[in-house]
Structure 1
Amino acid sequence: MKSRKLLMIPGPIEFESEVLQCMAIPTPSHVDPDFIDTFSNSLKLMKEVFQCPSGQAFIVAGTGTLAMDMAAANLIEAGDKALVISTGYFGLRYAEILKRYGAEVDILEAELGDIVSMERIEQQLKFKSYKLLTFTHVDTSTAVLNDAKSIGTLGKKHKVLTVLDGVCSVAAEEIKQEEWDIDVVLTASQKAVGVPPGLALLVASQNAIKAFEQRTSPVANYYGDWTNWLPVMKAYEDRKASYFGTPAVNLVIALEKSLQLIVKEGLDNRFNRHQRAGKAIRAAIEALGLGMLSKNEQVSANALSAPLYPSQMDPATFLQTVNQEGIILAGGLLPELKNNYFRIGHMGSVNKSDLLATIGAIETALMNNGYSHELGIGTAQILKHF
């Protein structure tokens, strides 16, 4: 009997064994020749996964919020105008980050479970001139998927820098950073990139680097200042050692391994696999008679889902019962609705067996807590899609 439970939350996720093995090796020096090669290759692979061959990759010890912070700190000066497209908790977080650096922030907030229409975004861009536009590709609080390609097109048309918060989308949802004219794509290691928590990952376009170089005031964040990090990244790209802060050595080694696995799978294959997983989970939830927080299929993320509880279901008891079945799910994140929905992460190395076990545990928990449904109707949908 396995004592370990299956982690099906929106991060940290289940990690490949080869990646975890990298965490267990003796830690080498950050100037060891082999590690320098590893760091260099990781930067190269990041640009391949983000699909931005001309971009500048950054690997920094920290969280996804640090990656958000770095983009804001380096591209915003006091008085700059920024537009935030919010589809949930993390869109509003980005507005707060931007304000810390003196930005004048406008927020276009979507109706719960939906996205802001491209017409509404363009209308705002015509109404006011902005330096920066940020949006969350997949908001972890709502499981809503934004139209990144269309927003990138609008950014280029209106000459505004675009920042894609891809913490819950990079390596799960399709992103073609360079082709879609997105200036910064950022993420964290513990989501679909498939590495334990601790790395802030970011790729900046040449347009974003140029905007940074044209600043007239110092970056108001010492640790996140690209002035400190650019020489380090460029040195490692050239297979030379450099120092500003000690890198998270084992995490970088694990990152290289995970990125190699992602590239080996093939980006299109990986995106298709996540699409099938997302559709399978949504079909299973619908078969069970539950609603979803996302309004429709078009705006539903493939990396995670946010089903609604049945009426009269106690959230804590439901999640505890699922846990007893060997599956860990996440509760709701939006403060005002946290007792109305739960979240299932299905990204990275997730497979059919994981999905079957998860839906099976949900079915059992629903039945044990008084919800009537045909046993097996949800798991049948997983089998149908896989």
Structure 2
Amino acid sequence: MDTGCDRPGLKPISEALEHLLSSCNPNSRDEQVNLFDGLNRVLAESVKSRVNVPPNDNSAMDGYAFFVDENLPTNTTMMIQGQALAGKPFTESVKAGYCVRITTGGILPKGTNTVLMQENVTKSDNRITTNQAVRRGNSVRLAGEDIRQDQTVVKKGTRLSPAHLALIASVGIDRVIVQSKPKVAVIATGDELVQPGDALEPGQIYESNRFALHGLLHKMAVDVLHYEIVRDHPESLSKVFLQASQEADMIISCGGVSVGDADYVKQVLDDIGHIDFWKVAIKPGKPFAFGHISKTLFCGLPGNPVSSFVTFEQLVTPLLKKMMGELPSSKLTLQAKCAETIYKRPGRADFQRGICFVDSQGQLWVKPNGKQGSGIMSSIANANCYILLEIEQGKMEPGEAVSISLFDA
């Protein structure tokens, strides 16, 4: 079968990714930031706990704390000696035959090793009677049970999520060492492009790629450098690309990488820098150019909005993660059944935009989200997943199994 990848310059996506990642070294610059500013930043140093979590033996329930040798029988009566509240410990030693009223999180007083929840006792005046047998250590959280002092809690190379921030804060740390933000220049090219808000003349369209890329880059915590729309003139392109190469770690351009009469990006990149490869066996997004200008990486995305979006997610995102020192990870894929016919010709890996859903029996299904043209941005905006179709895959019939990748929440 002709995969379509034998044509000169059409590189399979796996080879393109391998080439991209081998062309980039992790950023060696780091900085210290307040934990409130750590969301989506990549750790440059592992975080170790300063304390045990929990710091003391404490109660997992609202109830009563007392001492048990091994087991305590039902109908045992004890006097209440005092109370231990979260943040207000009971400082005396609990006498034999006595108990202490304790709340969830309260430090276990000296002379106790067990907690019985309040629903399982009968209280009368200043005493309790147990309504069930109790084993030693019941409902007690031991010091360091969750995290030990000096234990690594988050590894270097982790992109910090809200849960990571809470975990780091819980071990007493308010500042972290993270990779410095790479500077990424975003440049849109094309004589037909107009800034949103301006009036359209015949033959013009509103430029939208920069807005999508800005949002995608913002989630990755990079510094985005925006430039004015550049017209389809080699001199104008060369001037802006050279300027961006002095100001950014990576240049992302949109448009001008195809084979039209006014597609000059590849020519200019070849003149002022170096092209590593051009054209990838991916749909949408075949005309993707990668190279560098001096030490600045260059990714030339197609101008069509869907092609630009898909090639950024599938090719540029892994490259940026490598640049930022993020730990390698594979994206979760799920198996679904085709809810309707999926049309595809062998030759390119296809990332069709789909809508997945679960039926009443719990089966996951997926269907293409309408028209799949590279200029139809609603195919992404109104979808919730990519349908992942390999290079050699052809048409798929209803009921066949297919891989999908969910969009980011």
Q: TM-score range by the shorter chain?
A: under 0.3
TM-score normalised by the chain length of structure 1: 0.26
TM-score normalised by the chain length of structure 2: 0.25
Pick the structure with greater CA Rg. 2
Q: Which has the higher strand share?
A: 2
Q: Which has the higher helix share?
A: 1
User: Whose RCO is larger (CA < 8 A, sep 6+)?
Assistant: 1
